[in-house]
A and B are shown apart, each in its own frame.
Chain A
Amino acid sequence: MKKRTFLPECYILLVLLLLYLPIAVVVAYSFNDTKLFHWAGFTFDWYGKLMRNRSIIDAFFNSLKLAALSSLSAAVLGTVGAVGVSRRHFRGRASLENLSLIPIMVPEIILGMAYLAFFSFLRLPMGMLTLTLAHTTFCVPYIFVNVKARLTGLDPAITEAARDLGAGGIRVFFDITLPLILPSVMSGTLLAFAMSMDDVIISFFTTGVQTNTLPLQVYSMLKTGVTPEVNALCTVMLGAVFLLVAVGRLAASLRRGLGGSAPKPPQFFEKN
């Protein structure tokens, strides 16, 4: 009989430890009753301070607005694009699809510079508008890839059946296609939302002096040293991310419930 070893379990434990230990430290320090690095007792003070910090709250709402606006616009653009591309066969379709993924692959610093140069060329005032434009652009591929994968898994006869039964193009989209791809649209939008929410580099290049986003705010606070206030902020954001992931999983399980072949999970290239 094969001898059982605990090597795999130890390995997984090690990986998890590496992943979550730094985060755990941040969470712990957000409740530490001192600015120094020893444990001085439990407190919620830093959360209180965080709530009263006007610039953080402003930056938070800016980020929220920006992420919502850009992920929703990207959802419309990406969905319409994916549906359009999958409906028609034309020369260069594959290249077009690859081209649309480039924003995910190109280093963000280059994208940021490109946006900056482009917006300056157009003489657009840097601020919420330019931020939204830039974020929408880099959000589109996340939705496009997700929806495209779902459409590939759908039986084309389903939309043909709807046309056969008397539905025109618009009806087919709203009655059949959209309900079937909606879970993918949602999970793609959530992912885009998260990407927009934590973006530093592109925002850094495309924002103006008036507008600050949360990651930029954190970044500027860190320049003057880590304060437990930042730890508290990180903990709050972490909680929000866990919540988002949970909603995403829910959307995915909803999609499985809807029948049709389960689409392959889309391949994402790690940002940063």
Chain B
Amino acid sequence: MAETILSLQNIHKTFGTAEALSGVSLEVEQGEFLTLLGPSGCGKTTTLRIIAGLESPDSGRVLLQGQDVTDWEPNRRNVNTVFQSYALFPHMNVAKNIGYGLRLKKTPKPEISRRVEEMLELVQLPGYGGRMPNQLSGGQRQRVAIARAIVNDPAVLLLDEPLGALDLQLRRQMQTELKALQKDLGITFIYITHDQEEALNMSDRIGIMNAGKILQLGTPDDVYERPQTRFAAEFIGQSNILHASVEQVCADGTLLLSFAGGRVKAAGTGHPGEKLVLSVRTERVRFGAESQYGFALPGTVKAHSYTGGMLRTTLLLPDGQELTVNGMGGGHSRAGVGESVQVYWNPACAVIVEREGTP
């Protein structure tokens, strides 16, 4: 396991009466790309600002490279931030903006101009040193903001929704570039976004935040396929949320549960009679003439909607509940509306996200 570069220990922060963070703990490894993902107001920006030193926590500690920096001013911390609004200095040209951090460190002038040139090459803006920020496009400003931060060789780079203001196409391109940049430089990135696709696409690990807490921390695959909370299941991707109760614990480690008047299987542990909430990703639900997993629910095809690459099907279960299925537009068994089908899924894809008594 790689060395821990930054750790947050039980951070609490309140603004007035509103609790922004209630006990955030986090270990960030050297060189990783960690994303904090959550809806607006979940505390992800506050977490970032506390790491940067722009806010101070009510309680808890911030450790950077093993040193307690909780009470340090932002200018003493070896972290740099890429702000959502870019926050370029409007009265300085691009080269002065990028060189500002080095100038403060009293780096010799020739060295500054050399490093600035290097950075401009790196972010693919060679020859732009003399431009003023208001002469740049949004994407170019973004690159300058990134160059201005990484030129200081920070231990950790903090990025606060850096691509939020860009249009979709540019955002995709910048995602790829940022990821490549991070791999090349080996700098630890802590990245904030509310865009799940961005998070899944770029991160080594994702921390899902809601209401001032980190709910789940894991690889993109982990948080997508095995959400531990209902919030995670619903916030990332599309899930069917099923309320079921355990009938039997099977020998193969799966559970047999009663649901919608029939029986379904899920992965996990439990005891007979226990009420559970399951999440099944919409693309994991199968339907057809015959089940392949030893259980099936009878259902009726209620509607299809074609969304480009995907075909979305709504299935009606005997008790009136509906399931959503996303399948490939082409090869999926295409039952007609009104047709009766068998509904099933791989038990490993049905994940317990809530247990009775634990909200």
Task: Using CB atoms and an 8 Å cutoff, list the residues of chain A in contact with chain B.
Answer: 155, 157-158, 160-168, 171, 175-176, 179-180, 258-260
Task: Report A-chain residues with C-beta under 8 Å of the C-beta of B133.
Answer: 259
Q: Decide yes or no whether B83 CB sits under 8 A from chain A.
A: yes
Please state if A171 and B81 are interface contacts (CB–CB under 8 Å).
Answer: no
The distance in angstroms between the C-alpha atoms of A164 and B52, with both chains bound, is 7
Task: Report B-chain residues with C-beta under 8 Å of the C-beta of A259.
Answer: 90-91, 132-134
The distance in angstroms between the C-alpha atoms of A158 and B81, with both chains bound, is 11
Task: Report A-chain residues with C-beta under 8 Å of the C-beta of B85.
Answer: 155, 157
Task: Report B-chain residues with C-beta under 8 Å of the C-beta of A180.
Answer: 90-91
Interface residues of B in 71-119 (CB under 8 A from A): 73-75, 79-81, 83-85, 87-91, 100-101, 104-105
The distance in angstroms between the C-alpha atoms of A259 and B132, with both chains bound, is 10
B84 touches which of A157, A168, A179, A258 (Cβ 8 Å): A157
Please state if B87 and A165 are interface contacts (CB–CB under 8 Å).
Answer: no
B interface, size bucket: 20 to 34
Tell me the nearest residue of chain B to A161, going by C-beta: B87
* 20 residue pairs A–B, Cβ–Cβ below 8 Å: A157-B84, A157-B85, A158-B87, A158-B90, A160-B81, A161-B81, A161-B87, A161-B89, A162-B100, A163-B73, A164-B52, A164-B53, A165-B101, A165-B152, A167-B104, A180-B90, A180-B91, A258-B91, A259-B134, A260-B90
The distance in angstroms between the C-alpha atoms of A190 and B134, with both chains bound, is 28
Task: Report A-chain residues with C-beta under 8 Å of the C-beta of B89.
Answer: 158, 161-162, 176
The distance in angstroms between the C-alpha atoms of A195 and B42, with both chains bound, is 51
Tell me the nearest residue of chain A to B84, going by C-beta: A157
Task: Decide if the interface of chain A is mainly helix, strand, loop or mixed.
Answer: helix
Please state if B75 and A163 are interface contacts (CB–CB under 8 Å).
Answer: yes
Task: Report B-chain residues with C-beta under 8 Å of the C-beta of A163.
Answer: 53-54, 73-75
Q: Decide yes or no whether B148 CB sits under 8 A from chain A.
A: yes
The distance in angstroms between the C-alpha atoms of A162 and B83, with both chains bound, is 11
B54 touches which of A160, A165, A175, A260 (Cβ 8 Å): A160
A-B pairs with lowest CB-CB distance, top 6: A259-B90, A157-B87, A165-B101, A161-B87, A259-B134, A166-B104
Tell me the nearest residue of chain A to B78, going by C-beta: A166
The distance in angstroms between the C-alpha atoms of A168 and B77, with both chains bound, is 12
Tell me the nearest residue of chain A to B81, going by C-beta: A164
Task: Report B-chain residues with C-beta under 8 Å of the C-beta of A176.
Answer: 89
Please state if B87 and A160 are interface contacts (CB–CB under 8 Å).
Answer: yes
Tell me the nearest residue of chain B to A172, going by C-beta: B75
Task: Report A-chain residues with C-beta under 8 Å of the C-beta of B148.
Answer: 161, 165
Task: Report B-chain residues with C-beta under 8 Å of the C-beta of A157.
Answer: 83-85, 87
Please state if A165 and B80 are interface contacts (CB–CB under 8 Å).
Answer: yes
The distance in angstroms between the C-alpha atoms of A171 and B90, with both chains bound, is 16
Q: Contacts A164-B52, A166-B75 given; 5 further ones with Cβ under 8 A?
A: A158-B87, A160-B54, A165-B80, A175-B100, A176-B89
Interface flags, B62-74, vs A, CB<8A=1, else 0:
0000000000011
Task: Report A-chain residues with C-beta under 8 Å of the C-beta of B152.
Answer: 165-166
Tell me the nearest residue of chain B to A178, going by C-beta: B91
The distance in angstroms between the C-alpha atoms of A258 and B134, with both chains bound, is 8
Task: Report A-chain residues with C-beta under 8 Å of the C-beta of B52.
Answer: 164
The distance in angstroms between the C-alpha atoms of A162 and B53, with both chains bound, is 13
